[in-house]
Chain A
Amino acid sequence: MRLPFLGARLSLMIGALLVAAFVLCAALAPWLVSLVGYGPFDQVAPRSITPPTPPDALHLLGTDTLGRDLLSRLISGTRISLEAGLLAEAIALVLGTIVGAFAGYFGGRTDALLMRCAELVFAFPEPLLALAIIAAVPDPETAPFLRHLPHPSIGMVFLVLGFLGWAKIARLVRGEVLRIRAREFAQAAQALGANGARVVMRHLLPNALGPLIVAATLGIGGNILMEAWLSFLGVGARPPLPSWGTMVTEGQAYILSKPWVCIAPGMAILVVVLGFNLLGDGIRDLLDPRRRVIAA
């Protein structure tokens, strides 16, 4: 949704700025942490005080329950969020595009079968399904495929979210492929003897790119929110990983007396997800001028 009073494309710009800042922060995380001066796992609060210690000149956001610098953990957390959000969406995009293109291009029984499968996925409440699957996997740290990843517990999260997310993308791609296949240029390409793969890759998918980009942008934001939710409930990132969701959990017990431990990471999730939502909605408005009339 575009915020009308912000002017034509300002919400798109705000979204792009927030997302760019977030990605930059994740890319430069080690350097930024070195600027802060404390590592995300170092217990740096003075020994004389029981942590969490409130924000002061040394620790701008204060320290957490184990006396670790919150700003440093917050910055390191951008990598966890980005990793989960981006990789989950990448898996969903690849699977969903393949399935959707197959269903839309071949139609008939293939289409019916593949879309039945997608409907089956929609029949489940996605967050609970993800929770149930991850909770049942004994220990991502020792699981065969996940063990070799830099963060096995996050690997679990993005694999599950990615493999649950394909249906949405597949439905979208199928619809676009059906729509575009009926257009003259696609018909012409086929009449000129282009094979199926070429028609799909050169003519159908590039024209479906717009809606896909919108869906992917909103999807990354959704995945980041989901990772935070899972980590908050204790099935996502494992401590001591500085996932923002985990950081909120760790501060939960202190919410009434030392609220800064919770406030900062929650705020970070809110701002980043807001950025992706503004960006996604902005791109959609840009691509579809009809929507602007209602938004304005």
Chain B
Amino acid sequence: MASYVLRRLLGLAPVLLAAATLVWALLFLLPGDPARLIAGGQGVDSEVIDSIRAEWGLDAPAPIQYLRYLGKLLRGDLGVSYIQRRPVTAIIRDCFPATFILAVAAMLIAAGGGLVLGALAAAHHGRLLDHLVLILALLGTSTPVFWLGLMLMLLFASRLAWLPVLGYGMDGAIVPFLGIRLPEWDHLVLPAVTLSLVSLGAIARLTRTSLIETGSAEYLRTAAAKGASALRIFVYHALKNALLPVVTFVGLDFAALLGGAVATEYVFAWPGLGKTIVRAIALKDLPVVEGCVLFLTVVFVLVNLAVDLAYLYLDPRIHYGRAAA
């Protein structure tokens, strides 16, 4: 077990190096002079451009610049925003909590709702409820998340006026020690539900299929016939069996969740990394774009590692100790 974890951690190195190399190439190798971007446009003196080049170390040969960039990354330095003139790491530190809260809330809704709906569909296999869950899953994978957000906003925030239209809310509690401001809960509802709906249907479908495939839908029915309450059936019988596909899905679909989060944040003016990335793209603030993407790639890689490790606990049939011989 320990050796497996160690091996996996070492296996991260080439991935992270590839990510860093790609980001560097995107920042400095593509046509389009970074010095000119920093200077802010076309009609700038060539002397000014030269001085910027010297100041930002852009006059060195490419391999030297690359090694310097890697060195900075190792020290946790993602560069400086062309526009805000602030370290990218500081921008990420400010924006990441909002994204994290949104993603966790969406994942909780998706996993909770998906498990319940999937178990219900399996228990009602072939009947109306089953079909409705399947349709929901199909719609979930076909709907553009940014449009879904706008439609929910139109319905629940404007027409019904149950929830605020957008934003984070400025009166949320502050987490002690960390100094992170929480969103007001009613501001969180619409973005989190929007982001969750994409995964919710797919999780419901996976749960349903795995319950039916393992024949466990029968024991759910048996438990129901013996008079167990729906809650008891769900917690004691369905949940444990269904967690595996859900964990798989989190690993498979975390990339889509990140993409969805970018669009959701943009739609709801949620002050997270996604909104920061979109705004930075519009301003051609490349270090912010690439820094945030690099950071999220690392998060993605770590989540996938965590998913693989979670298998060890959830599925006793899997042993990673020996190499697949």
Contact = CB atoms under 8 A, between A and B. Distances in A.
Interface of A: 1, 3-5, 120, 123-129, 131-133, 135-139, 143, 221, 225, 228-229, 232-235, 245, 248, 252, 255-256, 259, 262-263, 265-266, 269-270, 273-274, 277-278, 294, 296
A125 B301 CA distance: 9
B150 interface: yes
A128 B165 contact: no
Interface size class of B (residues with CB under 8 A): 35 or more
B14 A120 contact: yes
Nearest to B155: A259
Interface string B248-270: 00000011101100110011000
A270 B154 contact: no
B14 A5 contact: no
Interface of B: 14-15, 18-19, 22-23, 26-27, 30-32, 126, 130-131, 134-135, 137-139, 141-147, 150-151, 153-154, 157-158, 165, 205, 209, 212-213, 254-256, 258-259, 262-263, 266-267, 277-278, 281-282, 286, 289-290, 293, 296-297, 300-301, 304
10 contacts: A1-B205, A120-B15, A120-B18, A127-B259, A233-B263, A245-B146, A256-B158, A269-B144, A277-B141, A294-B213
A99 B282 CA distance: 36
Of all A-B residue pairs in the complex, the 4 with the closest CB atoms, nearest first, are: A127-B259, A266-B147, A138-B32, A125-B255
A128 B134 contact: no
B138 A3 contact: yes
Contacts of A262: 147, 150-151
Given A123-B301, A252-B150, A270-B143, A136 B138 contact: no
Contacts of A248: 144, 146-147, 150
Nearest to B254: A125
A233 to B, nearest CB: 5
Given A129-B293, A245-B144, A296-B126, A255 B153 contact: yes
Given A229-B263, A255-B153, A136 B286 contact: yes
Nearest to A116: B14
B70 to A, nearest CB: 18
A274 B258 contact: no
A255 B147 CA distance: 10
B300 A124 contact: yes
